[in-house]
Amino acid sequence: MNISNEEYGELAKRHSHASPMYKTIPMAFAVGGLICCIGEAFLNMYTYFGLDETAAGSWTSITLIFLSALFTGLKLYDRIAQHAGAGTLVPITGFANSVVSPALDFKSEGYVLGLGAKMFVIAGPVIVYGISASIVYGIIYYCTTLF
């Protein structure tokens, strides 16, 4: 079924509800800040247990990714996101959620063609753009330091 852009816009308006910005913006700020505070707590805990700053930072990232993937698998991340909105898009946890969600959705299609092929549907463009931008930046940096 093909629909025009105008029909799609009208359909989207009918099925969308307006978000009260006075409520969603502070909630996103609070939840995003809470996720960052939890990350800081893990960082301080790992440092307290004797890890150096680099290792503690790495373990903090690993912990946040693991918790985000676990909460996504348990369907808790989506429930939190319904109330927190953009606050759950804090880079490391939001990225982990964007990798795990499609993998869970397409698991029934098999491990290779479902889970493996669809895992990076959302996160793939971000990875490609990040790698491409870093290559371009590296070339520019290299060229400017030659002289």
Shared domain for 76 and 124, answered yes or no, is no
Least confidently predicted of 57-66, 79-88, 135-144: 79-88
Please report whether residue 100 resides in a domain.
Answer: no
Shared domain for 82 and 134, answered yes or no, is no
Q: Which two tokens stand for residue 50?
A: 């004797």
Shared domain for 70 and 126, answered yes or no, is no
- In the prediction, which pLDDT does 70 show? 93
Helices within 5-123 (DSSP H only)? 5-15, 21-48, 53-73, 76-84, 91-105, 117-118
Shared domain for 6 and 70, answered yes or no, is yes
- In the prediction, which pLDDT does 1 show? 60
Shared domain for 1 and 68, answered yes or no, is yes
pTM of the model: 0.69
Please report whether residue 97 resides in a domain.
Answer: no
Please report whether residue 94 resides in a domain.
Answer: no
Shared domain for 23 and 75, answered yes or no, is yes
pLDDT, average across residues 75-80: 89
| Cβ 69 vs Cβ 63: under 8 Å | no
- Residue 10 belongs to what domain range? 1-88
Shared domain for 76 and 19, answered yes or no, is yes
Shared domain for 115 and 75, answered yes or no, is no
| Cβ 36 vs Cβ 91: under 8 Å | no
pLDDT, average across residues 68-90: 87
pLDDT in tens, 80-117: 888 888 888 887 888 888 888 877 767 667 666 666 66
Q: Please tell me the total count of domains within the chain.
A: 2
- In the prediction, which pLDDT does 59 show? 96
